[in-house]
Structures are given as C-alpha cells and as structure tokens.
Structure 1
Amino acid sequence: MFSITPSHIIEYLYCARYTFFEYVLAVPQNEDKYYKVQRGRTLHDEKLERNKGYLRKRIGAVEKWEDQYLTNATMRGRIDEVLKLEDGSFAPLDYKFAEYKDKLYDTYKQQLFCYAVLIEDNWGAKVNRGFIVYIRSKNKLLEVEIKQSDKELIRESISGFLEIVEKNHFPKATKYKRRCVNCTYRNICTK
C-alpha cells in the first residue's frame, strides 16, 4: 500500500491531477532543487532548537513531544511538535520558514488537519486546534481551529488519492483555472 504524506494530500487538494502525473505516470516536479526550499528547510531545522519555551507557555501547553514521526494505516508525517494542552486536548505545532502576510494559506491549514488525524489515531486524544509559527515574522503565532469536518476532508482525500494511484484513475482537473498558470504539468495536462 502507498504511504501518504501531508504533502501528497496538499497536492491532491490543490489539483488531483498532480497525484496522477507524479505517482501514476512518474513525471517528477523537481521542486526540491530550488534554493529557497533547501534554505528554508535548513533554517526550519535550526529554529526547532531555539525559543520554543515561551511559545508553549503562551499556548497553554502542559506537555510536549518534539519532532514526532507518526503513522497510521495510510498516512505518515513528521510533526514539529505535538502539544498536550491544559484542557486535555492535543495540538500540532508547525514552524514555517515564511513571513506572515495577513493570510493563512489553505496548504498550511491542510497540513495541520493531516497532523490532527495522525495525532488522534496515535494518541487517541481529541485535536480541535493547531498552531503555526512564522519564523520570518519574529515567531508570529497563529491558532487554527480544526473541526471534525476538516479531519473528514483529509480522510476522504486519502481515499481519493489511493483511488488514483491504485486504479490509475485520471481525475478531473481543478475547477480553479488560475492554478493551471504556473503548474509544473500544464504542458501535458489535457485540462
């Protein structure tokens, strides 16, 4: 069985054809070659080692687990921090090497939703919120509500992803045509 990551789900939700081109036809995106991605990963890892205590205190965390690699039957992911909060619920915390520009991107939320599913499946604890820290904006902290419907979206997306990969199903293109403009696969996609 295919082991799905939050990145797979984010791409699937952006346009399901990413899944088809990359994992059925094996046409790579080659995004990892970009300098900003590599530099961001390096700084992200360095940031994990500094200035965490005050953020956890602001959030109301009573316990923490750093750099957690979690799996369930279909998905896997590495979570920067899993927090147990004062009310007994759990929450993922993710550091982003990014500036906050008054907009919380869907991709960041979707990643937290994936982490919520993994935390619930592994700890059996309720997850109803997550946190994002924007490193390049002086560690700006955002709280994100995570509803049951958000976790169901992730589970449905896993099923859709697996249908494409396991059955070689060619999905419909995204209904948001602006996404096609800068798409890696725009030259081979039949829209």
Structure 2
Amino acid sequence: MCMDDTNAMITVSDVLEYMFCPRFIFYMYCLTISQYEGRRFKVQTGRDVHEKKRITNPDYFRKKLGVCGRCQEVYLSSETHHIKAIVDDVLTFDDGTMGPFEYKFSEFKGRIPETYEMQLAFQALLIQEVYHSKVTRGYICFVRSQNVVKEVPISEEMIDSLAEIVQSILSIIQEGYYPKKTIITNRCDDCTYRKICV
C-alpha cells in the first residue's frame, strides 16, 4: 500500500498523468519520485498566464453564454469520489444548470483535446456533488487564440469514463501495484521516468 485510502484525494493533474501513462501514478505516489514539471517553460508560462489573462467583462458571460452567476478560483472537493480541484470559474446559467469554465495557454486547432474534455468532466462531477446542480456543458478559453471560447458538452459517458479512471488511480495508490505502461510507445521518448521504467 502506498497511502492510506482515507487520505487519497485525486486531482485533475493525476487524471491527466494517468491518461498519458498509468505508471506516472505509481512513480509519483508509491515511489514518491517527482517529475519536476514546474521547471518546464510551457508549464510555468501557462501558470503565469492563468494569473494575468482573464476575461473580466461580465457582459461577455451574460450575453454570449447566458450566465447569471460566476465564481472565480473555486476550490471544490468530494470525499465520496476522492477528488479535488480548483476551478477557474464556476458558472450558473439562466436555465438553472451550472458548469466549469477553464483558461488554457494554448491555441484552438479545430478540436478540443481529450485531456481538456476530461478535465471539464472532472470539474463537472465536483460541481454536481457540491452544488447539487445539473451540469450539461463546460467551456474552454484558448488564450493563445485571442481568447476564443469553445463549448464542450458534458455527457454521462464522460462522467462514467472519468469515474473509472479515478478508481484505477485509487487502486494503484492504495494497493501499490505496478500498472502496465501506455501502449503509445512514442510517449516514452520524452518521459521523466524513462530511465527507471522497466
């Protein structure tokens, strides 16, 4: 066992690392070997932009997205699902539903990456749990494409897929088993753990 199951709280980053390769979770939690992602320029730049570049005009949200309420930098957690996150914006829509809004330091290239969709699903699950409100959509703001905003439908299938990933992560952490690595072999070339991965 790597960690007491009562203390295990999964983050969005954990889910994205698992999607990249399940062994990231084993190395980070069971062997406590950090990957030092904070040293990467793009990661740090993205964090800086998160702090400085935001859509602050409330009329944009009200007129374009039908928003009647907005909370920024909201910390949410669920002991039931063992997950936690800070959501850039939690929006309340005119139809009574709610949804997450995320800023990304990236360009929109015609489609929403799966990792972004999964992050919104993660946040949607938290919003549903904490606010007891239905979540059917979320939004991504692509900062490097002049703040273009794209809607992402949140389906039950996305939530179910996320729940399976979270359970797999918890199993690795709690049982300490060594998972199979990613089947996408070119990911290994730029992996922090490539020298110790068997």
Normalising TM by the smaller chain, what interval?
Answer: over 0.9
- Matches of residues 12-51 of structure 1 in structure 2 within 5 Å? 12-48=18-54, 50-51=56-57
Alpha-carbon offset, residue 131 of structure 1:
0.2
Alpha-carbon offset, residue 88 of structure 1:
1.5
Match of 1:168 among 134, 157, 176: 176
Percent identical pairs in the alignment equals: 36
Aligned length: 190
Contact 1:64–1:82 at 8 Å: present in 2 too?
yes
Which whole-Å CA distance do the structure 2 matches of 1:139 and 1:174 have between them?
33
Which whole-Å CA distance do the structure 1 matches of 2:182 and 2:70 have between them?
38
In the alignment, structure 1 residue 76 sits paired with structure 2 residue 104:
no
Which whole-Å CA distance do the structure 1 matches of 2:143 and 2:62 have between them?
15
**Superposition TM-score, scaled by structure 1 size:** 0.93
Alpha-carbon offset, residue 135 of structure 1:
1.1
Match of 2:128 among 108, 120, 130: 120
* TM superposition outliers: structure 1 runs of 4+ over 4 Å: none
In the alignment, structure 1 residue 182 sits paired with structure 2 residue 184:
no
| Runs (5+) with no aligned partner, structure 1 | none
Residues 100-152 of structure 1: CA distance to partner in whole angstroms, max 9, x if unpaired? 22232111111111100100010111111110001111110111111111111
Q: Secondary structure at the match of 2:17?
A: helix
Q: Secondary structure at the match of 2:141?
A: strand
Which whole-Å CA distance do the structure 1 matches of 2:119 and 2:32 have between them?
23
- Higher mean C-alpha displacement, 130-139 vs 100-109: 100-109
**Superposition TM-score, scaled by structure 2 size:** 0.90
Residues 39-92 of structure 1: CA distance to partner in whole angstroms, max 9, x if unpaired? 221121112363454144211111111111000011110001111112221110
- Higher mean C-alpha displacement, 27-36 vs 131-140: 27-36
